[in-house]
């Protein structure tokens, strides 16, 4: 038998993996007589193909699984694929747009059909890539995070938590996409640095010719202000704490409050408080029992504001507010 001068993985790897599968070496069963060892694979997103990070992660998990299997434990490496929510929706939308098709033109059911087609295509690719890596998972137990049984398990857990009083409903600041009309988790948000402006705005004191100057990068949100905040130890504003200002362009009376979250070194040391549109302001408002006023809707247009700004986009409103001030 003549040996090849160079190793060709294609000649051996598929044969070896086929032997493993046909021999059921990765299959696992519940065994009361053995010690069990289980790893639930963090499911890769079905947004595309695996990358080098997956290769590293899978290799480390495979080492643990094979090590414990060699010591006679009943091992289960549970494989899965994640639908990835908005991320998959976005890539499917881009795929459709490349064909001149808009999601809204398809309708919900037809669009979901396209998502499932994407899942079948890239889900199978992920499985094949995993096998090429030699992953010793029990593929009989493969789970997809939109599977009916999986979804039912999530629903049952949610209902149990609710019945046990572990869930509650409350208002929170969330990441929102005005194009997709959906909430985004923090991990799905990509931050970009860009040059901006810091605007200084005079807020007249009630029944006085004096004023307090606040600094902000988002002047359009001042239409939803419910307070002005200063640091309690800032000597410049101690005499103003508890007094009121008149909100420019709106004429609403709002208080000046003291809160340690305010950075005296930022701008003038006095900041506007817009609880509905800033996580920091939201917390300040809760501590001081301030009101909440939504002035931007789910498509990033102005609401609950004076007529000149009603219906404007946030960018348009910013320009108009600055001009009017």
Burial-class residue 196 by CB neighbours within 10 Å (0-12, 13-18, 19+).
exposed
Residues 149 and 214 in one domain: no
Q: Cα separation of 296 and 294, whole Å?
A: 6
Domain that holds residue 36: 9-164
Q: Cα separation of 152 and 155, whole Å?
A: 5
Q: What tens digit of pLDDT does each residue of 89-131 get?
A: 888 888 888 888 888 888 888 888 888 888 888 888 999 999 9
- Looking at 108, 141, 164, which one is the last position of a domain? 164
**Is 171 among the domain residues?**
no
Q: Cα separation of 241 and 70, whole Å?
A: 70
**Across-strand partners of 253?**
246
Domain total for the chain? 2
Q: What tens digit of pLDDT does each residue of 296-316 get?
A: 999 999 999 999 999 999 999
The share of the chain scoring above pLDDT 90, in percent, equals: 69
Q: Cα separation of 250 and 225, whole Å?
A: 10
Q: Cα separation of 227 and 243, whole Å?
A: 10
Beta strands in the chain (DSSP E): 36-40, 74-78, 80-81, 143-144, 175-177, 182-184, 199-204, 211-216, 227-230, 244-246, 253-258, 270-273
Residues 50 and 140 in one domain: yes
CATH number of the domain encompassing residue 271: 3.90.740.10
Q: Cα separation of 257 and 269, whole Å?
A: 12
| DSSP letter (8 states) at residue 231 | -
Mean pLDDT, to the nearest integer, of 149-173? 92
Instruction: Please state the pTM of the whole predicted model.
Output: 0.71
Mean pLDDT, to the nearest integer, of 187-196? 87
- Looking at 140, 164, 188, which one is the last position of a domain? 164
Residues 137 and 215 in one domain: no
């Amino acid at each position: 038998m003549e040996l090849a001068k160079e190793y060709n993985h294609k000649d051996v790897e598929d044969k070896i993996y086929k032997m493993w599968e046909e021999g059921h070496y990765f299959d696992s069963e519940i065994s009361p007589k053995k010690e069990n060892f289980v790893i639930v694979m963090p499911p890769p997103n079905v947004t595309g193909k695996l990358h080098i990070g997956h290769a590293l992660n899978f290799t480390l998990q495979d080492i643990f699984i094979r090590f414990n299997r060699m010591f006679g434990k009943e091992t289960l490496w549970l494989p899965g694929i994640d639908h990835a929510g908005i991320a998959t929706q976005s890539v499917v939308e881009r795929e459709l747009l490349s064909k001149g098709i808009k999601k809204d033109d398809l309708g919900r059911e037809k669009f979901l059909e396209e998502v499932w087609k994407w899942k079948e295509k890239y889900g199978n690719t992920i499985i094949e890539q995993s096998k090429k890596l030699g992953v010793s998972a029990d593929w009989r137990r493969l789970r997809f995070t939109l599977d009916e049984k999986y979804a039912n398990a999530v629903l049952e857990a949610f209902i149990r938590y609710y019945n046990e009083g572990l869930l509650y409903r409350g208002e929170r600041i969330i990441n929102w996409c005005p194009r997709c009309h959906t909430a985004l988790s923090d991990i799905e948000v990509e931050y970009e640095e860009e040059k901006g402006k810091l605007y200084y705005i005079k807020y007249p004191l009630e029944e006085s010719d004096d004023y307090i100057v606040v600094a902000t990068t988002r002047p359009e949100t001042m239409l939803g202000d419910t307070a002005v905040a200063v640091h309690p130890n800032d000597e410049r504003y101690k005499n103003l704490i508890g007094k009121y200002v008149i909100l420019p362009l709106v004429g609403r009376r709002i208080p000046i409050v003291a809160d340690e979250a305010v950075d005296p070194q930022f701008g003038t040391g006095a900041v506007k408080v817009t609880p509905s549109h800033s996580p920091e302001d939201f917390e300040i408002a809760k501590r001081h029992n301030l009101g909440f006023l939504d002035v931007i809707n789910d498509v990033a247009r102005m609401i609950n504001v004076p007529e000149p700004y009603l219906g404007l986009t946030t960018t348009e409103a910013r320009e108009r507010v600055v001009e009017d001030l």
